[in-house]
Amino acid sequence: MKTYHDSDLVATGQSSLKKPGFPAGLAGSAGNPGGKPEPPTGGTNEAQPPLTNRGALITTPLLNQFLIDWVAFTVKIIDPQEILQIIGLKSELFSELDRGLYGYQKSLRFGNICVYFAGRPDMGCHVTMSGQGCRQYESQFPKIPWFALFATAITFKAKFTRLDIAHDNVDGALDLAKLKEAIINREIRSRFRKASETQNFDLSPDIEQSTDGHTLYFGKRSSRVFLRFYDKAAQLGLPFVWNRAELELKDKRAHEAAKYLSSGVPVGQLFIGILNQYLSVVCRDDSNTTRCSIQPWWSAWLQTVEKIKLTTAQEIKTVDEVMQYVKRQYAPSLAMIKTHLGATIFGYYIRELLKDGSERMGMKHEQILRVSSKGKADNYDEGQEKFEERAAIIEYDGGLDRTDAEELARRLLDQEDQP
């Protein structure tokens, strides 16, 4: 299993980049930096309009997966329209705002995707996609767009300032209770000097579940490498096993990781390579920590993680949404079948369909039932999600402390809500 040292987090130069396989709609190419964007094709030769902004999505994985969960970079290009060509999104999706951050006076915003511009000439433009912004970006393309974005941005000499990689584990291999126990028992080999934990409780008397999970942190929020583990299902109030590990990379670490991904290094291999340099869960079978063996459960999790490919998050469905889909797509066909068979035989036909469907229901259908019964998709606090992400952008990329970042985020969101 290859590991990546700090000094190794340097990808090959641009001359060694292979021409990326750009999804429809991404501008230019590594071999043609000045290329004009091609309209989204959706896999056909006819131009198709871009998908609309879906807003805040609630996603739950059916399988273990990797996601790009935060992207921020700067390009020394003054015209924000050129930046939109680089990231492959149409200008009509964005609204121009007469306010910005980090010394930029203006911004273009599409959901949680923002392009800051109108700063000093040497500042160029700054692009930020928060976690929800990454999901919104993915929704505009028929295929995973990240490889092409990284390759194109680097070709245009972009400097990545933040890149988050998230791993969702739903099979229980990533055991947060065992990880916490290892921390307490000092069964940890790490370059981080400290670990911390936060746990949130819901004090509402009508809520059966008293806690929404806990988070384990390694490193400092301001450091170039920051690692967190948390119970994502508990955070959203979902009755599933869903633990998440997130690598938050900044400045040089973010840029070198983007170069690796743009050159074709599998995201799982990169994730494990970085993680192995910063954290291991070990057995206390030697007085020298560096010679201690890795705990079997941790090793087994790492071996499975390395094989997982980069994916995109899909929007979770509720029973009501499925019912509307069936009505919209199949109501005419069912009416036709009833007319053909007659009411009595049609009744037998429907019962046979239900019997067959019951036998074929899988994990996806069970998750839809559970989410619908709890009503979490409808009760999801989109406003709080927007506030937390905006505050995080200001804190991490703007260099403000958390209190000032939250105050500015609230003020900006209030301004945007005004007619």
pLDDT tens for 155-188 read 999 999 999 999 999 899 999 999 999 999 999 9
Question: What is the per-residue pLDDT for 108?
Answer: 95
**For residues 288-308, average pLDDT:** 90
Comparing C-alpha atoms, which of 119, 117, 139, 141 is closest to residue 128?
Answer: 117
Percent of the chain with pLDDT over 70: 72
For residue 392, what is the enclosing H or E element?
A: helix 382-398
Any idea which residue has 């929007």 for tokens?
315
Contact 337, 346 (CB under 8 A): yes
Q: Where are the beta strands (DSSP E) in 130-194?
A: 159-169, 188-190
- Between residues 39 and 164, the one the model is more confident about: 164
Q: Where are the beta strands (DSSP E) in 219-345?
A: 225-231, 243-250, 279-281
What phi and psi values does residue 162 have, to the nearest 5 degrees?
A: -155, 140
Collapsing DSSP to helix, strand or coil, 144 comes out as coil
| Contacts with 293 (C-beta within 8 Å, 6 or more apart), sequence order | 282, 283, 285, 286
What distances in angstroms separate CA 354 from CA 324, 346, 351, one per listed residue? 18, 12, 5
Q: Is 287 exposed, middle or buried (0-12, 13-18, 19+ CB in 10 A)?
A: exposed
Q: How far apart are CA 9 and CA 114, in angstroms?
A: 27
Could you write out the DSSP letters of every residue in 29-79?
A: BTTBTTPPPPPP-TTSSS--PPPPP--S--B--SS-EEEEEEEEEEES-S-
- Between residues 37 and 281, the one the model is more confident about: 281
Question: What is the per-residue pLDDT for 378?
Answer: 38
- Between residues 350 and 415, the one the model is more confident about: 350
What distances in angstroms separate CA 342 from CA 53, 263, 355, one per listed residue? 43, 61, 20
- Between residues 359 and 35, the one the model is more confident about: 359
Is the pLDDT confidence value at 21 over 50? no
Average pLDDT over all residues of the chain: 78
Question: What is the per-residue pLDDT for 197?
Answer: 86
